[in-house]
Structure 1
Amino acid sequence: MSRTLPGVLLLHADAKLTDAWVRRGVVPSYVVPLPGWTAVVPAGPTQLSAPYDDALTVTANRPVPTRLRTALGFFVIDGIAIVSAQTRGWRSAPRMVSWTPGHGADEVPGFPPLKLGQLAESAGLDENDVAGVRRVLAARAGDPTAQLQQLMHALALPGAGMLSGEGVKSDLEAVLVEPDRSAVGHFEKVAGDEAEMRAELRENL
């Protein structure tokens, strides 16, 4: 198997639905069935130009359809740990919290904040069992990948080893799913149209 990126998106959906969703996106990813969840692990860059070439950022920001939620994402982007959550009752924009070495947990600008109770509830954790989650988020020292792995363990979630590629390489059910060319082309057109519109607005200011 090829090298994977430090990111895991857990979906409350079966592998078949998850496979179809990945094909409609732009990020090549491994789809891995896990107990109670299906993991999506980015496997490489997109075929798009910047800023849409960053597979982790694109995956973290991609809205998850209601039928595939709850969705919980764990990513290391530019040395910062990012945790995202989307549940059936929330709007499409994911709630997020970040963790930075030397600083600890903080909100992510531009996204609704992900609170401790919301994160625990999304993972199916009882509110009386959040002490371990609180300790991980309150820590200021550590490595982003290791912190995310500790957080996944504290949330009683599977797939922590996939953040370092270990779980993917050892899982015989992991399947590499490539995006459909039509989906990539559509995304590229929409992104291009938006870029042209922004350029026109700047010229008219």
Structure 2
Amino acid sequence: MSPADDPTPSGRSQGLVLAAGPRPEVDTWVAASIVPVTVVPLQGWVAVVTRGPSRAGSPYDDGGLVNACRALSARAAPGLGFFEIDGRALVTVHAPGRRRRVRWVVWEPEQGLLRPPGLELAGPSELVRLAGAEAPVRDELVDLLHETRVRPARMLQAVMATLGLPGTRLLDDPAHADTLPGAVRRDPDPQQVEWFEDAVRDSVRLRRELGVLS
């Protein structure tokens, strides 16, 4: 999934990433972002909380979606992301190692788990393993993800609680992150935003030259 492919960018978009890497490595990863965030240490994790739209132009202005699609660096990983985007609950999985690719769990009210084409999906066992939870939690998680009659934010909070992860309140109240010990608000460096927009333009230009885009 990419921000440019988002069919309904006007919907609510919010979320956070929990990174298990050292705080300096997470800070380095955040420094290359185009989205305002609050970085705050939690129990055993560093939370990167989305705090508004990105500084790039449309269709890359959805801060939550941009952060959901962005892979953690190898040194900041592993990690798990939890995002509410356009009425869906998304869990992003960042495995350790140098294979920087986001894997996904996608859930929608009344539908349950979805299998959107083009996304590499993650399973419950991987979530349990990355969260450091006990193996029996997998069955609880499977049962939870079969529920279809809750709000996306509530589903995400329930998944986090089931996995024993901190920060559930930050999904409904991201501003609360600013009040926590060690929290730092980080706004994007204008140079990073300029580099990002240049790279996007260059990519589109190259694809047109190669005949990929009409």
% same residue? 34
Q: Say whether 1:135 aligns with 2:164.
A: no
Q: Say whether 1:92 aligns with 2:100.
A: yes
Q: Say whether 1:105 aligns with 2:113.
A: yes
The aligned residue for residue 191 of structure 1 is 200
Task: Identify the structure with the greater helix proportion.
Answer: 1
Q: Say whether 1:33 aligns with 2:5.
A: no
Please tell me whether the aligned partners of residues 55 and 188 of structure 2 are also in contact (alpha carbons under 8 angstroms).
no
CA distance in 2, matches of 1:184, 1:98: 28
Write the letter of the residue equivalent to 2:129: E
Structure 2 length-normalised TM: 0.87
CA distance in 2, matches of 1:69, 1:108: 24
CA distance in 1, matches of 2:213, 2:84: 38
Please tell me whether the aligned partners of residues 15 and 32 of structure 1 are also in contact (alpha carbons under 8 angstroms).
no
Q: Say whether 1:23 aligns with 2:31.
A: yes
Write the letter of the residue equivalent to 1:25: S
**Displacement after TM superposition at 1:203 (Å):** 8.6
Please tell me whether the aligned partners of residues 152 and 160 of structure 1 are also in contact (alpha carbons under 8 angstroms).
yes
Q: Deviations over 1:91-131 (max 9, x none)?
A: 21111011100000123432211111111111111212223
- The alignment of Structure 1 onto Structure 2 pairs a total of residues equal to 201
Structure 1 length-normalised TM: 0.90
**Displacement after TM superposition at 1:81 (Å):** 0.5
The aligned residue for residue 115 of structure 1 is 123
Q: Deviations over 1:36-60 (max 9, x none)?
A: 1000001111111111111111111
Over the aligned positions, Cα root-mean-square deviation in angstroms equals 1.9
CA distance in 2, matches of 1:126, 1:202: 50
Please tell me whether the aligned partners of residues 145 and 164 of structure 1 are also in contact (alpha carbons under 8 angstroms).
yes
CA distance in 2, matches of 1:54, 1:71: 21
CA distance in 1, matches of 2:159, 2:102: 18
The aligned residue for residue 144 of structure 1 is 152
Q: Say whether 1:173 aligns with 2:182.
A: yes
Q: Say whether 1:158 aligns with 2:171.
A: no
Write the letter of the residue equivalent to 1:47: R
Give the gaps of 5 or more residues in structure 1: none
Aligned mate of 2:82, from 59, 71, 74: 74
Please tell me whether the aligned partners of residues 6 and 165 of structure 1 are also in contact (alpha carbons under 8 angstroms).
no
Please tell me whether the aligned partners of residues 207 and 213 of structure 2 are also in contact (alpha carbons under 8 angstroms).
no
Q: Deviations over 1:166-203 (max 9, x none)?
A: 64154142211112222111111000111223344559
**Displacement after TM superposition at 1:90 (Å):** 6.8
The within-5 A match list for 1:4-15 is: 6-15=14-23
Please tell me whether the aligned partners of residues 96 and 107 of structure 1 are also in contact (alpha carbons under 8 angstroms).
no
Give the gaps of 5 or more residues in structure 2: 1-12
Q: Deviations over 1:145-167 (max 9, x none)?
A: 01000000000001111001264
CA distance in 2, matches of 1:78, 1:91: 28
**Displacement after TM superposition at 1:62 (Å):** 0.7
